[in-house]
Amino acid sequence: MVALRDERTRSAALESDLAGERARLAKHGDSDPKSGLHHFEFFKKLLVLELKRARRYGYSLAACLVALDEGRLVGVPDGPRAELTAQVARAIKATVRDIDMAVDYAGGHVLVFLPHTDLVGAERAGRRMESAVRDTSGVDFE
């Protein structure tokens, strides 16, 4: 009983830390308004908490890296390229769960964090994302 109480106290403290961090980052903007992708700084903070939680409770974590085919983007002006990136981001976000996080990792790359997801689930999520991006934008994956 004592151990369970201690774990609940630690879990509540982590939840409080996470809520405080989300509030702080929301004040500064934790995501890009056009694409809806979270900023990498926000992701790093959340990842630390999720790793601790996953170790403690023994659940799986996965991530998918979505990279647009740069060959198809050569010569595309910045304006249309930004719109295409936003379109891809929206397609990805539409295919993942509410607890998953799509992050603007680097130009043309989207990192999707999948808590409570094993390798098989991550593969399925990756296929769904690939299909959604192709259907929405005609962009190929690397």
As a whole number of angstroms, the distance between CA 132 and CA 127 comes to 9
Scanning the chain, the segments in alpha helix (DSSP H) are 2-28, 40-57, 70-73, 78-95, 119-137
> Could you tell me what percent of the chain has a pLDDT over 90?
25
State the angle between helix axes of 119-137 and 78-95 in degrees (0 to 180), rounded to the nearest 10: 140
Largest CA distance in the chain: 64
Residues 80-122: tens digit of each pLDDT: 667 777 788 888 889 999 899 988 887 678 889 999 999 999 9
Q: Point out which residues pair with 115 in neighbouring strands.
A: 61
Contact present, 63 and 114 (Cβ < 8 Å): yes
**Mean pLDDT, residues 68-78:** 61
Q: What is the pLDDT of residue 142?
A: 47
pLDDT higher than threshold 60 for residue 25: no
Taking CA 120 as the corner, what is the angle to CA 114 and CA 125, rounded to the nearest 5 degrees? 50
Q: What is the pLDDT of residue 74?
A: 56
State the angle between helix axes of 40-57 and 2-28 in degrees (0 to 180), rounded to the nearest 10: 170
For residue 32 the two structure tokens come to 């890009």
Q: What is the pLDDT of residue 9?
A: 84
